[in-house]
Amino acid sequence: MRMIQKQELLLHKSIAIIGGGPGGLTLARLLQLKGVQVRVYERDHSQEARVQGAIVDLHFDSGLRAMEATGLMEAFKANYMPGADKYRLLDPKGHILLDEGNQAGKPDFGNPQFRPEIDRGALRDLLIDGLLPGTVLWDRQFESMKEVDNKWELQFKNGTTAAADIVIGSDGYRSLIRPYLTDANALYSGATIIQGEIDHPKSACPEFYQLVNQANLMAMGNGATIAAQPRGDGGLTFYAASMYPENWVKLSGIDFSNSEEVQNYLINHYEGWNSIFFTLFKACTHFVPRPLNYFPLEHRWETKNNITLIGDAAHLMPPNGEGVNLAMLDALDLSNCLTSTATFTDLHDAIAAYEKIMFDRAEPLCKETIEGISDFAAPTEESVQELIKMLS
């Protein structure tokens, strides 16, 4: 890694990034390229501790822009999944309404419409490979921190400690760093998804596996949605979404650790749908319910000169295809602000400038997502037709 001279604002400063997802790792890489002392503290026990989830697409003006800035674009091109960016839209009977895989002349790198997909694990691995050895410290689940002599003293659940001048929370929607900045509570969007993971779909639900065909598949109608995405390891992640009352997960009486109980609920809930979707439910043995929450649109906090947030930790919103991209773009903007000595004379102003950029960008996206949540979780025939027009 080629370093340039350390930026004056961060001279003799150390940065702790809590959370080793795409946003935190992108930030670490960008700061290290400018000679900044940085460590990433990740709760996973190791780099191989768990499957990272389904594929993710990077967008031209956000994720790909940040990836270009990291200098790791060639590594990304070597690891992305060609063809996985296509969409396949079905109705509840299993009829294909839209199949992008059959369309010719698809865009490629350099085209603003191109959104290449990559396995989340592969994305994390290539970002880690771009860091100096020892940058990521594993088995560091954050527990608490306090300010002592203008430094943060961090405590982790495994009993270890660390010190840093600046702390960046990149620890997702359940961020434990956020309370050090704001006591804002998340709001419920009205939608809940039941997420399932299938490690061997080729044998566990072969018909549905063939139907996905390495695409982003969505089946929509009758007031519900099923979405499925391939994983880079050959597995499959799916989401069953509907509109539910607040606290439905607790009030439903469903034991989500009992896979047979969840399977039966889903089969009943999707009564009248093509039975091929039931084979998907029956193949799954691990379900997680996820109420889709968001932060109030006017959510802000008072800027501090030694702590801030990026990604879902900063601007929680329901899934809209922008999450990883926003986190990576946050990382790019924050790294630029922290190292722009010609623009900012102190860290408070630099962080305040980043936070304004971040909030101004996130607010309209969150508003649009919340306004359209029922179109996703409780689609009508009209909303499905609108989606087809948008994707065509």
With 0.75 as the threshold, say if the pTM is over it.
Answer: yes
Q: Which CATH number fits domain 8-51+121-184+298-371: 3.40.630.30, 1.20.1250.20, 3.50.50.60, 3.90.1300.10?
A: 3.50.50.60
Chain Cα centroid distance, residue 26: 13
pLDDT tens digits, residue range 143-160?
999 999 999 999 999 999
Binding-site residues for NADPH sit at: 50
pLDDT over 60 (residue 32): yes
Q: Which CATH number fits domain 82-115+187-294: 3.20.20.70, 3.50.50.60, 3.40.190.10, 3.40.309.10?
A: 3.50.50.60
Binding-site residues sit at: 50, 57, 120, 312
**C-alpha triplet 334, 70, 145: angle, nearest 5°:** 45
Q: Say if residues 43 and 344 touch (Cβ distance below 8 Å).
A: no
Report domain extents, the chain.
8-51+121-184+298-371, 82-115+187-294
- Confidence category of residue 103, pLDDT binned at 50, 70, 90: very low
pLDDT tens digits, residue range 39-69?
999 999 988 776 656 788 899 999 999 999 9
Provide the 3-class DSSP secondary structure of residue 329. Answer: helix
Task: Please tell me if the domain spanning 8-51+121-184+298-371 has the same topology as the one spanning 82-115+187-294.
Answer: yes
pLDDT tens digits, residue range 296-354?
988 899 999 999 999 999 999 988 778 899 999 999 999 999 998 778 889 999 999 99
30 burial via Cβ count (<10 Å: 0-12, 13-18, 19+): buried
Whole-number pLDDT of residue 53:
66
Sheet holding 14-18, edge to edge: 136-137, 37-41, 14-18, 166-169, 307-309
Chain Cα centroid distance, residue 159: 28
Binding-site residues for FAD sit at: 57, 120, 312
Q: Say if residues 240 and 194 touch (Cβ distance below 8 Å).
A: yes
Distant-in-sequence, close-in-space partners of 63: CB < 8 Å, separation ≥ 6: 22, 57, 324, 325, 328, 329
Whole-number pLDDT of residue 52:
57
